[in-house]
Amino acid sequence: MGRAVAEYPLGIESLMLWQDLKTRTGRDTGFRRSGIVYAAFPGARLADTDGLMTADDGRAEPSLAASALAEAARDAGAVNLNNCAVRGLETKAGRVSAVGTAQGVIRCDGAILAAGAWSRLFCANLGIDLPQVRVRSSVLRTAPAPGGPDMALGNGRFGIRPRADGGYTITRRGRVPVQLTCDLLLQSSRFARGLVRNRREIAVTVDGSRMQDLRTPRRWQTDRPGPFEQDRVLDPDPQRRTLARAWRDVVRVFPALSGVPVVESWGGIIDVAPDGVPVIDEAPGLPGLVIATGFSGHGFGLGPGAGQMAAEIATGAATLIDPAPFRIAPVRTTQAGRTTSWPVHVPANAVTPGAENFLYRATIPLNWTPVRSAV
């Protein structure tokens, strides 16, 4: 929920793939269908007590899932090269023919660029102007604690997800700092609509990322170390004030969590597309290169479906769903950028058959009286 309508089919397919991953890989990804609630609590921007619950939605554990998938790929014959930067691509007759890496050249018929927030930079050296900006985001993790929600929940101020270890992962929603970088300025016409539409939820800030942005080369030779070797990990400091506010709001809604230790907080970079919808498409003017990026903060959930569709495009197979909303275009003509508003009316084809999707009327804390679905 709260996503672009065009993303729903990919989300639904991904959910079904998540469900099967344990059987397919023989490994635990931490996935469970625990439901997600989008709620509005007093003081939040939305109406006081309305909420939406998708009972069949799920959650998984990134720390388990990433290694489970990497190991399963290796078992199936894939070779994982860790700490090995890809510097660029080689072409033959205008088509991708090899990938140039820090450990040598790998001949191939095609490649998938799934480089997250590094994708725009990688594309720049290929002469492809990929619409994407980097946005810093932060989360915190609590120690195991009873008394909080048993399903993932978001409201106008925070998002909270129960973890397999009994603690919670928490982030801030509703007032998210977006760093004013040179790259954002350069792409201001692309992002203006999204910034204006989400103006109540965004605070544009200036920090050190502007200087780092200026220092990063946009062109480099692929036979020597490039920007991916200089800056291997994007792990900015967490936004402590933002997280402190989120934690304060969480404790206000779930007083039982008061006094629970926050054991870790960390920052990351989100690869944001102008309309919040990822790109999964063959690169313009470069046959053999498929780009899968711009997940705009939804890429963990969408990962299984997005990965399968990227592979299908790369191999010329029929795709899981209609790929049109995910095409690369200067301005997308689908309704990709339309996000669900409140209350949410979910298109009939976006509801998994048999799923229980309710519009809920809520009292705090989470004493739900369901109002049978209007969705």
Out of 18, 38, 118, 326, point to the residue binding ligand FAD (CB under 6 A): 118
d(CA 115, CA 127): 16
305 binds ligand FAD (CB under 6 A): no
Of 211, 212, 229, the residue nearest 88 (C-alpha): 229
Q: Could you tell me the smallest distance in angstroms from the CB atom of residue 367 to ligand FAD?
A: 25
Interface with ligand FAD: number of residues (CB under 6 A): 21
Residue 340 sits in the site that holds ligand FAD (CB under 6 A) = no
Closest CA to 239 of 134, 139, 133, 135: 139
Give the distance from CA 87 to its chain's centroid. 24
Name the minimum Å distance from CB 371 to ligand FAD: 27
Least Å distance, CB 85 to ligand FAD, is 4
Q: Which x/- pattern, by CB under 6 A, does the window 240-279 give for ligand FAD? A: ----------------------------x-x---------
Candidates 149, 174, 301, 325; binder of ligand FAD (CB under 6 A) is 301
The SS3 assignment for 161 reads strand
By the 10 Å C-beta count (0-12 exposed, 13-18 middle, 19+ buried), 42 is classed as exposed
86 binds ligand FAD (CB under 6 A): yes
| Interface with ligand FAD (CB under 6 A), residue from 8, 41, 122, 247 | 122
Residue 51 engages ligand FAD in binding (rule: CB under 6 A): no
Contacts of 318 (CB under 8 A, 6+ apart): 312
Question: Element (H or E) spanning 303, and its range?
Answer: helix 299-315
Q: What amino acid is encoded at 219 in this protein? A: R
Is residue 149 a contact partner of residue 160, using CB atoms and an 8 Å limit?
yes
Among 51, 156, 162, 299, binds ligand FAD (CB under 6 A): 299
Helix or strand (DSSP H, E) at 360: strand 357-361
In contact, 87 and 102? CB cutoff 8 Å: yes
Check if the beta carbon of residue 280 is closer than 8 Å to that of residue 313. Answer: yes
**Distance between CA atoms of 155 and 345, rounded to whole angstroms?**
17
Q: How far is the CB of 30 from ligand FAD (least distance, A)?
A: 13
Q: Any contact of residue 220 with ligand FAD (CB under 6 A)?
A: no
Using CB under 6 A, which of the segments 90-98, 198-206, 299-307, 343-351 binds ligand FAD? 299-307
Contacting range for ligand FAD; rule: CB under 6 A; set: 108-116, 183-191, 254-262, 351-359: 108-116
> How many C-beta neighbours within 10 Å does residue 294 have?
28
Q: Is 116 in the site for ligand FAD (CB under 6 A)?
A: yes
For ligand FAD, the closer of residues 16 and 374 by Cβ is: 16
Is residue 132 a contact residue for ligand FAD (CB under 6 A)? no
Does position 31 bind ligand FAD by CB under 6 A? no
Residues that bind ligand FAD (CB under 6 A): 85-86, 114-118, 122, 137-139, 228, 268, 270, 293, 295, 297-301
